[in-house]
């Protein structure tokens, strides 16, 4: 991503400038000092280990580097190739030959059978807390996504949008065919029955409801994450969706929640760690 490149260049720039500053400070000091016998090597070591000479920017960089190192060390023992970490988005389309073990839920919707138990447990717990959760969408074939995508574009064109703008508006929420996470069978769009009955449906404001807060507060205990969180639009490429939850397994979900990551960022981190 561009901002990472910019950040990288800034890091190199400030590092070079920073070193210059440290040496200058050191030599100024050594002029006044009587230790004229000190070798160049020792001087360099002393300069490098002089924490006081770090600029605020360097301190910040050091802190960020240490935090990243800690994050890498804390990663769970998982692999990016694990079935529950399958990444599908507009730039990484699903493999059409992937054979998914789908199961049909009592309401007719399909999900990956490997997440059924935890999903049911989560909803059962929600029900005990007083929230009747209804499933609005789960597994979707690429063909169905194509239909949804096309009809959304037509709807915008019907509202006098240009073809280009209709596509742009559609893609804010609807992934391109093959790029929807619903192709994985690991994603669910859920609402509570009261909200659903108001007809307001899948809109970000669903997060004004107590049921949504409950779902978010308890999701990682059942291996789910909010897949398109607020503030991560640049990473996910999709606007905030308060209703779209994705199964990744408990240990991945806990880690993602702790460090406030998008799935894209988490997978990048796993790759960086060689997992």
* Catalytic residue set: 241
Distance CA 252, CA 110 (A): 23
What's phi and psi for 161, nearest 5 deg? -80, 155
Can you tell me which residue has the tokens 């002029």? 31
Instruction: Choose one: 20-28, 88-96, 164-172, 242-250; the region binding Zn ion (CB under 5 A).
Output: 242-250
Residues 209-228 interacting with Zn ion (rule: CB under 5 A): none
Output 183 or 244, the one with its CB closest to Zn ion.
244
Output 26 or 195, the one with its CB closest to Zn ion.
195
Q: Residue 18 Cβ, how far from Zn ion at the closest point, in Å?
A: 46
Among 112, 171, 189, 235, binds Zn ion (CB under 5 A): 189
Distance CA 29, CA 53 (A): 12
Instruction: Choose one: 45-53, 102-110, 112-120, 244-252; the region binding Zn ion (CB under 5 A).
Output: 244-252
Output 136 or 157, the one with its CB closest to Zn ion.
136
Among 244, 247, 263, 269, binds Zn ion (CB under 5 A): 244
Q: Which residues contact 204 (CB under 8 A, 6 or more apart)?
A: 239, 240, 241, 242
How many residues in the chain? 275
- CA torsion sign, 202 to 206 to 210 to 212? positive
Q: Residue 241 Cβ, how far from Zn ion at the closest point, in Å?
A: 6
Q: Shortest CA distance to 215 belongs to which of 186, 240, 246?
A: 246
Q: Residue 180 Cβ, how far from Zn ion at the closest point, in Å?
A: 8
Copy the structure tokens of residue 78: 């998982």
Count of residues that bind Zn ion according to CB under 5 A: 2
**Binding mask of the shown chain, residues 147 to 186, with x at each position contacting Zn ion by CB under 5 A:** ----------------------------------------
Q: Residue 3 Cβ, how far from Zn ion at the closest point, in Å?
A: 26
CA within 13 Å, CB half, 77: 0
Distance CA 102, CA 110 (A): 6
Q: Residue 217 Cβ, how far from Zn ion at the closest point, in Å?
A: 20
Can you tell me which residue has the tokens 């037509």? 154
- SS3 at position 189: strand
Give Rg (Cα) of the chain.
25
Q: Which residue is nearest to Zn ion (CB)?
A: 244
Output 183 or 252, the one with its CB closest to Zn ion.
183
Instruction: Choose one: 64-72, 85-93, 189-197, 204-212; the region binding Zn ion (CB under 5 A).
Output: 189-197
Output 58 or 264, the one with its CB closest to Zn ion.
264
Binding site for Zn ion (CB under 5 A): 189, 244
């Amino acid at each position: 991503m561009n901002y990472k490149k910019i950040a990288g260049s800034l890091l190199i720039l400030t590092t070079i400038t920073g070193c210059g500053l440290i040496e200058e400070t050191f030599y100024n000091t050594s002029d006044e000092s009587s230790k004229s016998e000190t070798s160049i090597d020792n001087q360099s070591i002393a300069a490098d280990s002089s924490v006081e000479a770090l600029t605020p920017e360097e301190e910040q960089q050091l802190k960020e580097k240490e935090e990243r190192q800690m994050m890498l060390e804390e990663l769970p023992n998982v692999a990016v190739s694990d079935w529950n970490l399958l990444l599908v988005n507009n730039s990484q389309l699903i493999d059409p030959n992937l054979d998914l073990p789908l199961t049909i839920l009592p309401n007719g919707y399909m999900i990956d059978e490997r997440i059924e138990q935890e999903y049911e447990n989560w909803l059962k717990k929600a029900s005990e807390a007083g929230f009747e959760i209804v499933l609005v969408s789960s597994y979707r074939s690429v063909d169905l996504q194509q239909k949804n995508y096309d009809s959304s574009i037509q709807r915008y064109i019907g509202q006098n949008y240009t073809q280009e703008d209709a596509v742009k508006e559609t893609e804010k929420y609807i992934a391109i065919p093959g790029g929807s996470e619903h192709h994985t069978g690991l994603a669910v769009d859920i609402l509570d029955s009261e909200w659903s009955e108001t007809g307001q449906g899948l809109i970000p404001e669903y997060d004004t409801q107590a049921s949504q807060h409950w779902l978010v507060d308890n999701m990682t205990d059942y291996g789910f994450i909010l897949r398109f969180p607020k503030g991560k639009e640049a990473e996910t490429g999709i606007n905030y969706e308060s209703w779209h939850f994705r199964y990744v397994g408990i240990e991945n979900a806990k880690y993602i929640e702790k460090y406030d990551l998008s799935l894209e960022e988490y997978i990048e981190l796993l790759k960086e760690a060689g997992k």
